[in-house]
């Protein structure tokens, strides 16, 4: 077999050398290891493992009177096995699809079985109330004016179909981490599809329900799309305004209840109270979601019933408009359609004005002057096609990110060189008395994060 | 000019039509708008803006006795301007490099000017102590046994050089978000290069210093590399063990102080106390970092002085080994080289054993039986080339992620179908009494997150 590698004549020469001394074999081994090339610093890594393997093979024969051919055959097998295990170290050459376990879709459930998002619960307020009483060290209010909030977002467990999609998901979650750290809000980033029937935009429903029921200490769950970014780091949601409400979405009463306009509200960023009412709403909301015939037919109904809705399968936002408009008496009194600040802000009318905002206003306003949220609806950077030109979307997402990031960086004395630039520059000289530096926006130690100090 | 679009003969026909009625012009406008294709739902978006622009051009001439040719010329200009602004909606066709503002490297500082990481501070313990006294509502201990910890990590502001790199950064930060949420730790995700001279692995030093000085309420800063993942969600760092120490790294005393082995400790995951001692250490650590001649020369020194170190520019880890070994009397008594659990766990010796761990052990151990951290040193998924085969790295990173993620999912009654699978399956039936379901690992409401309840 060695013939095939180095030719028959050299094999005979080699065999002669081998008969003459084991040192020859040792040289061969060393040559092979060196010739494998630079595999880097491998702390306990591959080069050492390889060497160990080949060395072990050698040592098996050291001192034995073994026929040289057999030694060579065994050595060659070791070399071939090690080499065939080797794949490229070059990420550009690697086909990512090799990683994906051949995963077929889940077997479709019995179509005659009606969809259920979970067993009916009718006494959640009582269950939760009892739990909170038993667990005073997990209060649902973190201070008298501030409910405990869990921000929930997420994305697919698969890499994005286009190369930059994941980079923007990464920037988006960093943006949310920054806002939530400042505002004392916890984050749940979901990458699991809990219910195969409720894929796509409907996936948030089983997730939200599961989180509400698992975290009775959470008072409000804040759902936020992965394509929405915080652009006002200083704005605190006016929780007091919603003390008698269970669902807060950006929208307009007239557009929902009068016009039934499919964009009369937005479900890309909303607040949902942890209570029985919300479970009941989810039970009414979910049935349009199951993928396939149900979702398609529901889509046709929604296009028919709602104003301006294009033709496509049912989505959670249209379903919400339809539910509120057609069951107003049941739900409206606990729903707040907020339009005094941008709980959701459509990017198209905001992103070209950032410089104007910087010139004329300041963080903390949350509204058209300095939007709390800039939401890149329709851009779909994780997919192949968006509803808008790619360049516009990505450029503006960079600008929105930097607009928000500047408010974080200014705490530390930095800012982006421009809204288009990834690079930062200092805004002040470092000080040897850093605690005397004025914290302009008051974001380093904001009041809503202060813990209550018991008077001694 | 219209000749070039539709030919000279049709132009004359068009002119005749135009002379006959404005309705002809209106039809042309509508045709152009429709022919621009499906640009999506554009809530207040591009199709409407286009139409507005073309419509406005038309209205300028409505009712005027204007030479038709001039009207057509103006209309054509409007159409051409609008069309040239259009780019692809297809992310696959878009060249991401178009986005990058032409950003040259910063002008090199005067090479004769010695590097300084910041103005010397000698009274930080006093400054910080005073601040804590003045701000009792931002205590440095969140409960008597638990210091306030800030976990710091980050990655480049540029998209990764290879398509999957950002996806793994995203999974990595989700992993950290999960651990930190459970353990009451805040996260700072950095994407800004604060000091151009301290690029690459040295970038963490200016960042760490800035954060310590800006957040006196933080007792420990936990630096963690982006290629390190939490694989024991239940393990709480034994803070009490470090009450008299200022720096905790995974490592071995003998390998650092006796052997000066460059991998005797790991700076990919370490704890640094917010105090004067740490500022002094950073002042001593930083000087090997500045890119260029200094870093290169320092690299040669480190290769010479340390055991087994390959030839490359100075890195922060080697520099730390050298500092501790050569200035032992100054630093060692406040440094804890921890090896009783994997504050950093080299992936190569862990990832093939996950199934064995699942079979034999349980979360909460943090050590070789169930490692706190699995650190993918050398894989470099954000770059072009790693030190190991790509397939092995990515497959194992998926497994490590799922191994950790299973401990999160089990709280909610789910688990990955296998360690290789992105998909999840339920582990139990949903209950209508969710609060009675046993929280096996006690991660939903862990003791270290409970707030202190004042006795009434």
Query: What pLDDT does B107 receive?
Result: 53
The residue of chain B with its CA nearest to that of A155 is: B170
Q: Where are the alpha helices (DSSP H) in A36-108?
A: 46-61, 68-84
Q: Within chain B, which residues score under 70 in pLDDT? A: 1-86, 101-111, 454-456
- Are the Cβ atoms of A389 and B87 closer than 8 angstroms? yes
Q: How many CB atoms lie within 10 A of CB A95?
A: 9
B388 closest CB neighbour out of A45, A118, A423: A45
Q: B25-66 pLDDT, tens per residue?
A: 555 555 555 555 444 333 333 444 444 444 443 444 343 343
DSSP string over A91-121: GGG--GGGGS---PPPPPPPTTSPP-SS---
A88 closest CB neighbour out of B92, B348, B390: B390
The rounded average pLDDT for each run of 10 residues, N- to C-terminus, in chain A (456 residues) is: 61 60 57 48 39 42 41 44 59 78 60 86 98 97 93 96 93 98 98 95 97 98 98 98 98 98 98 98 97 96 98 98 98 98 98 98 98 97 92 96 98 97 96 93 91 66
Torsion region of B72: left, alpha or beta (phi above 0 gives left; psi -120 to 50 gives alpha):
alpha
Chain B: give the shortest CA distance to residue A101, in Å.
6
- Are the Cβ atoms of B390 and A87 closer than 8 angstroms? yes
Q: How many CB atoms lie within 10 A of CB B283?
A: 16
A214 closest CB neighbour out of B191, B398, B444: B444
Chain A: give the shortest CA distance to residue B266, in Å.
11
Q: A103-148 pLDDT, tens per residue?
A: 655 555 666 778 899 999 999 999 999 999 999 999 999 988 899 9
Q: Helix, strand or coil for residue B131?
A: helix
Which of B39, B151, B166, B399 has the highest number of chain A CBs within 10 A, making it the mutation to test binding with A?
A: B166
Report the number of secondary-structure helices (H) and strands (E) in chain A. 15, 12
Taking Cα atoms as reference points, which of B368, B154, B185 lies closest to residue B271? B185
Chain A positions in Cβ-Cβ contact with residue B263 (cut-off 8 Å): 43
> What ipTM does the predicted assembly reach?
0.83
> What angle is formed at CA A113 by the lines to CA A107 and CA A114, rounded to 5 degrees?
115
Which of B47, B50, B91, B401 has the highest number of chain A CBs within 10 A, making it the mutation to test binding with A?
A: B91
Taking Cα atoms as reference points, which of B282, B121, B298 lies closest to residue B205? B282
Q: Quick one: chain A helix, strand, coil %, rounded to 5?
A: 45, 15, 40
Q: Where are the alpha helices (DSSP H) in A101-223?
A: 124-134, 165-183, 204-214
Chain B: give the shortest CA distance to residue A9, in Å.
35
Query: What pLDDT does A447 receive?
Result: 87
For A202, B189, B429, the CA distances from B204, given in Å and listed in that order, are 40, 11, 46
Q: Which tokens go with B389?
A: 């085969």
Residue A306 contacts residue A324 (beta carbons within 8 Å) = no
Largest CA distance in chain A: 99
Q: Quick one: chain B helix, strand, coil %, rounded to 5?
A: 45, 15, 40
Four-CA torsion B379, B268, B165, B363, nearest 10 degrees: 90
Taking Cα atoms as reference points, which of A31, A78, A38, A32 lies closest to residue A56? A78
Chain B: give the shortest CA distance to residue A20, in Å.
34
Backbone angles phi, psi at B129, to 5 degrees: -60, -40
Chain B: give the shortest CA distance to residue A63, in Å.
31
Taking Cα atoms as reference points, which of A185, A172, A189, A175 lies closest to residue A409? A175
- Are the Cβ atoms of A166 and B167 closer than 8 angstroms? yes
Quote the CA–CA distance of B280 and B283 in Å, as a whole number. 5
B159 closest CB neighbour out of A45, A139, A167: A167
Burial class (CB in 10 A: 0-12, 13-18, 19+), A280: middle
The residue of chain A with its CA nearest to that of B47 is: A388
Quote the CA–CA distance of B88 and B95 in Å, as a whole number. 10
Q: B301-358 pLDDT, tens per residue?
A: 999 999 999 999 999 999 999 999 999 999 999 999 999 999 999 999 999 999 999 9
- DSSP state at residue B261: B
Taking Cα atoms as reference points, which of B300, B276, B274 lies closest to residue B288? B300
Which of A52, A142, A162, A390 has the highest number of chain B CBs within 10 A, making it the mutation to test binding with B?
A: A390
Q: Which tokens go with A344?
A: 């959701």
Query: What pLDDT does A145 receive?
Result: 87
- Are the Cβ atoms of A388 and B42 closer than 8 angstroms? yes
Query: What pLDDT does A438 receive?
Result: 87
Chain B positions in Cβ-Cβ contact with residue A421 (cut-off 8 Å): 101, 103
Query: What pLDDT does A112 receive?
Result: 72
- Are the Cβ atoms of A435 and B216 closer than 8 angstroms? yes
Strands A220-224 and A186-190: unpaired
Residue B266 contacts residue B250 (beta carbons within 8 Å) = yes
Chain B positions in Cβ-Cβ contact with residue A135 (cut-off 8 Å): 445
DSSP-assigned beta bridge partners for residue B91: none
A92 closest CB neighbour out of B162, B214, B444: B162
How many interface pairs between A and B have CB atoms less than 8 angstroms apart? 310
Burial letters B191-206, b for 16+ CB under 10 A, else e: bbbbbbbbbebbbbbb
């Amino acid at each position: 077999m060695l013939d095939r590698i180095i030719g028959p004549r050299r094999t005979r020469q080699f065999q002669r050398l081998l008969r003459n001394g084991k040192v020859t074999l040792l040289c061969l081994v060393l040559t092979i290891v060196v010739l494998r090339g630079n595999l880097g610093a491998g702390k306990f890594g591959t080069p050492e493992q390889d060497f160990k393997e080949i060395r072990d093979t050698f040592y098996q024969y050291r001192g034995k009177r073994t026929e040289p051919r057999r030694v060579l055959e065994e050595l060659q097998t070791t070399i071939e096995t090690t080499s065939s295990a080797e794949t490229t170290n070059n990420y550009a050459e690697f086909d990512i699809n090799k990683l994906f376990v051949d995963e077929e879709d889940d077997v479709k459930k019995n179509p005659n079985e009606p969809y259920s998002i979970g067993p009916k619960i009718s006494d959640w307020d009582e269950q939760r109330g009892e739990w909170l009483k038993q667990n005073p060290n997990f209060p649902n209010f973190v201070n008298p004016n501030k409910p405990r909030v869990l921000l929930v977002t997420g994305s697919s467990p698969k890499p994005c179909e286009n190369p930059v999609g994941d980079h923007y998901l990464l920037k988006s979650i960093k943006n949310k981490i920054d806002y939530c750290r400042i505002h004392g809000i916890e984050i749940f980033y979901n990458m699991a599809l809990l219910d195969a029937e409720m894929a796509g935009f409907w996936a948030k429903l089983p997730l939200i329900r599961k989180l509400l029921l698992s975290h009775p200490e959470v008072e409000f769950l804040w759902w936020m799309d992965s394509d929405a970014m915080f652009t006002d780091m200083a704005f605190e949601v006016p929780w007091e305004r919603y003390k008698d409400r269970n669902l807060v979405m950006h929208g307009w009463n007239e557009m929902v209840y009068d016009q039934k306009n499919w964009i009369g509200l937005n479900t890309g960023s909303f607040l949902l109270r942890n209570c029985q009412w919300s479970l009941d709403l989810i039970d009414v909301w979910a049935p349009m979601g199951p993928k396939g015939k149900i979702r398609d037919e529901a889509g046709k109904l929604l296009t028919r019933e709602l104003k301006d809705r294009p033709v496509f399968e049912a989505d959670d936002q249209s379903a919400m408009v339809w539910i509120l408009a057609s069951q107003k008496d049941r739900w409206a009194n606990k729903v707040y359609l907020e339009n005094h600040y941008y709980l959701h802000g459509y990017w198209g009318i905001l992103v070209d004005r950032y410089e104007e905002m910087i010139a004329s206003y300041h963080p903390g306003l949350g509204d058209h002057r300095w939007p709390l949220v800039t939401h890149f609806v329709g851009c779909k950077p994780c997919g192949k096609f968006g509803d808008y030109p790619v360049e516009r979307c990505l450029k503006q997402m960079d600008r929105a990110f930097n607009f928000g990031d500047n408010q974080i960086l200014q705490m530390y004395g930095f800012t982006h060189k421009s809204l288009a630039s990834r690079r930062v520059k200092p805004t002040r000289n470092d000080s040897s008395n850093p605690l005397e530096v004025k914290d302009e926006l008051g974001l380093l130690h904001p009041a809503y994060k202060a813990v209550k100090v018991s008077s001694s």
